[in-house]
Structure 1
Amino acid sequence: MSDFNEFDQQGSVPGRDTGSIISHAFEMYKGVILYAIVAMIVYMIGDVIIQSLTGFSSWSSFKEIRDYDGDYTRIRYWDSPGIGLYYSFSGLFGILLSPLYVGLIYIINKYNTKNTIEFSDLFIGYRQNFVNILIYSLISSIILVISLAMCAVPFFFVFPFFLIGYPILLFENASAIDAMSKSFNIAKENYGIFLGASFLGVVISLCGIFACCIGYIVTGPFIMAVMYSAYCAYLGKPRQIMYNK
């Protein structure tokens, strides 16, 4: 059982504009980057295991795309062996890892408020509001995957509505539906700023892929910092969570 305790704390809050949110996210991310790398290494290890079990090779697919030298009409990506099974297991794995991403947001808040960070903080999502985090991750993943399947472009217009859902689940101990509803309503009222922040956050997170994919370990979790900064901008500095073991 856990309790939420509130106390006075230091910490910065960005302005309500895209530039301030991204700038604040950069400052926060620099301070927790080692924990972000740990989270990504866990993801990468799981992904390698899933690829070995399903027979799908993302590296082979990437090499195929590179070898075609821009002639993407010849690519038969969805005909790759084991790709359907891979994405099924990968999606499930991603949902099970969502509490780990929530834990990174928790660590970002502790860094912002100058509280001592412990390695176990990364796993708070598995102890606090776990079921609702999984439900939220499942619903949002289904919606985002559908938007990605529609030529990818709709994804960037849908994603802003989910931008602050994870922080709401963590700091307000909300249910999955309440977190989704609150995130949607705030994004709807400030859509231009949320669209800009989420677009830049996703692009920056993905830019590591172009560094032989290894850079993704460093840049991938940046979107979590954007989620935290957007939450701070529109809902204020979060109260610190005190977890009673």
Structure 2
Amino acid sequence: MKTTLENKIEKLKKNGYDISVNKIITDGFLAWKNTIFYGIFCVIFTYIFNNLIYNLLSNYLGTNLIDLELAKAISSLNNDSQSLQKLISLFQDYIHNPQIIIKTLLSSLIGLLLYPLSAGVVYCAYLADKKGNTSFKHFISGYQGTKFIKLIGLVFIQIILISISMLLLFIPALYIIPAFILAGSFIIIDDAPIIQAIKYSFIIVNRKFGKIFLILMISFFISKFLGFLMCIIGLIFTLSFSQAIVYSIYKNTVGSIDVDDEINEN
């Protein structure tokens, strides 16, 4: 028996869909307003967690002295062309240090554990839109049952593909990142399997790749660039706009197809 999501995707493939950039941005702002508390919590908790892990790994691996030497070397540089070359050389030596490589890999792997929080913001936007309310339980639902394994697996696959794209000057990443954009939503909202979630995301994005790419660029500008303009602290408020846009894309594509769906409140 086909799931509701499968029926929606088949209907979308048969009839196609159209999206309005203005409507998605407008719906994104509404979703952002409805989930601002969870978005702020996600940003602050992520910052504290990553710094804690970074400091713990620095102490454990003994890289504090290496970090200190780099900071001193940078502070002693002058503002000239030779200093720029020295700065590049310093960073190259730093990132190729075996201890730094290990610390970076470990901190990145541990950082994967935070992805379900971002997915939780999307799920809260979904419930707030459909039911008018949500809770902290829904926010952390990505850590419950098989959703946690699937979300971690999804982001791990993305990291591998994006890392491979580094060999090709990140050009493949310009397609990979948008193509994966709805996969997390299909997992956190519809509890879809990883491969199915990725497949459905590709199907939807490929039909309107240009518009979705443009929407993601606008989202990046609002969530990152405007946050920096607001004395950086504004990032606490603006970063979660990217999750709100993800839900808005979901809402205006597969979420707009009526097949008598029922809200799944895990």
Global fold match (TM > 0.5): yes
Q: In structure 1, which of residues 82, 86, 91 is the aligned counterpart of residue 108 of structure 2?
A: 91
Alpha carbons of structure 1 residues 180 and 78: separation in structure 2 relative to 1, 3 Å: farther
1:64-83 to structure 2, matched below 5 A, reads: 74-75=87-88, 76-80=90-94, 83=100
Q: Does the aligned pair in 1 maintain the 2:25–2:248 contact within 8 Å?
A: yes
Alpha carbons of structure 1 residues 213 and 178: separation in structure 2 relative to 1, 3 Å: same
Residue 173 of structure 1: how far off its partner (Å): 1.2
What is aligned with 1:241?
A: 264
Q: Does the aligned pair in 1 maintain the 2:31–2:247 contact within 8 Å?
A: no
Q: Does the aligned pair in 1 maintain the 2:185–2:250 contact within 8 Å?
A: yes
What is aligned with 1:110?
A: 127
Runs (5+) with no aligned partner, structure 1: 5-14
SS of aligned partner of 1:202:
helix
Residue 17 of structure 1: how far off its partner (Å): 2.5
Return the TM-score normalized by structure 1: 0.78
What is aligned with 2:14?
A: none
Residue 204 of structure 1: how far off its partner (Å): 2.5
Runs (5+) with no aligned partner, structure 2: 5-17
Rounded to whole Å, the distance in 2 between the matches of 1:104 and 1:93 is 20
Return the TM-score normalized by structure 2: 0.72
> Rg bigger for which structure?
2
For residue 152 of structure 2, what is the amino acid of its counterpart? L
Q: Does 1:167 align with 2:185?
A: yes
For residue 123 of structure 1, what is the amino acid of its counterpart? I
What is aligned with 2:117?
A: 100
Q: Does the aligned pair in 2 maintain the 1:98–1:137 contact within 8 Å?
A: yes
Residue 181 of structure 1: how far off its partner (Å): 1.0
Q: Does the aligned pair in 1 maintain the 2:122–2:185 contact within 8 Å?
A: yes
Q: Does the aligned pair in 1 maintain the 2:190–2:264 contact within 8 Å?
A: no
Rounded to whole Å, the distance in 1 between the matches of 2:207 and 2:224 is 27
How many aligned residue pairs are there?
225
Structure 1, 171-180 or 232-241: larger mean CA deviation: 232-241
* Larger helix share, 1 or 2: 2
Rounded to whole Å, the distance in 2 between the matches of 1:186 and 1:70 is 49
Q: In structure 1, which of residues 181, 191, 197 is the aligned counterpart of residue 209 of structure 2?
A: 191
Structure 1, 33-42 or 149-158: larger mean CA deviation: 149-158
Q: Does the aligned pair in 2 maintain the 1:32–1:107 contact within 8 Å?
A: yes
Which string of whole-angstrom CA distances, capped at 9 and with x for unpartnered residues, describes residues 33-85 of structure 1?
1110111111111111122123477xx88xx69x9879765434344476423
Residue 221 of structure 1: how far off its partner (Å): 2.4
Q: In structure 2, which of residues 165, 169, 175 is the aligned counterpart of residue 147 of structure 1?
A: 165
